[in-house]
Amino acid sequence: MSPNVEGTAHASAPSAQVLAAYSYCEAVTGTQARNFAYGIRLLPTDKRQAMSALYAFSRRVDDIGDGALAPDAKLARLEDTRALLGRIRAGEVDEDDTDPVAVALAHAARRFPIPLGGLDELIDGVLMDVRGEEYETWDDLKAYCRCVAGAIGRLSLGVFGTVGPADRADEYADTLGLALQLTNILRDVREDAGNGRTYLPAEDLAKFGCGEGFQGGRAPAGSDFAGLVHHEVRRARALFTEGYRLLPMLDRRSGACVAAMAGIYRRLLDRIEREPEAVLRGRVSLPTHEKAYVAVRGLSGLDARTVSRQNTRRRP
């Protein structure tokens, strides 16, 4: 894992105040991140609590970027949140602090070696949103995705830990984050267009005749929207394939968590590939029973074993 970590992987047993803070974060996670919640419920209590704290802080950052405040007010709020992160990093948040997210994240960072700099990267990514930055190429978009999703993969790895040889674990966690984010971008094409945003690379949009965007839930006349979606799906699948190499480096329950979350998004990608125009009608989602199946599959370790066999075959 990255040496830029903040915790010691140990902390005292949570006090009643800290437990209440974790409960708050778990409630936020359960109500606002159902796909994420399906994965982390497979973790032991201490890791589930830490992941909930990370999610709740990340959700706060995202909500600032997605909210109705004026851009200048959003920028100020994001810098206030960065200052709070600095207090957490410096150990200046007491257990009786009135901010439960800060209390929970501060405890999690003492309990696990979480690279809190990843949350600075998340803030940087949301600042890019607030400034309305556009992405000409995949490399440009990839830099944004590394901030808002790859960083989350690396933060999560600080909680999960690794087993056995894991020299490239950070790289694989980052790549899996990119795969999830690109799937999100495809899923949210209509919603983002309604907010005046198109995240897909401008060069890809132009290549498939979609340079005018998707206002009103429609692709431009004469465009090859299905071709655009299939192009991005192939890119996401390659990222998933590479990112899945992380699974054998994790313990059973952490691997199950990652396999469940990634599996849900891979199935979303399957649906989008089968019916590209569905993303212009609304947000594509999976039914509850299908998410439960993916979670059980993750807990079985089947995905991790499959990746291990594939990696073994690749070795000379």
Nearest 10 degrees: CA dihedral of 45, 47, 48, 49?
80
The reported pTM is 0.89
The string of pLDDT tens digits covering residues 73-98 is 999 999 999 999 999 999 999 999 99
| Residue linked to tokens 């803030």 | 123
pLDDT given for residue 201 in this prediction:
98
Q: Domains of the chain by range and CATH?
A: 15-112 (1.10.600.10), 134-316 (1.10.600.10)
Strands (E), the chain: none
Distance of CA 212 to the CA centre of its chain: 28
Q: Over the stretch 168-218, which tens digit does the pLDDT of each residue have?
A: 999 999 999 999 999 999 999 999 999 889 999 999 999 999 999 998 889
Tell me the C-alpha distance between 242 and 169, whole Å. 11
What pLDDT sits at residue 287? Answer: 87
> Both tokens of residue 40?
């982390």
What CA–CA distance (Å, rounded) separates 235 from 307?
A: 19
Residues in the chain with pLDDT values less than 50 = 1-9, 308, 316
105 contacts 60 by C-beta, under 8 angstroms: no
- Rounded Cα gap, residues 151 and 262, in angstroms: 16
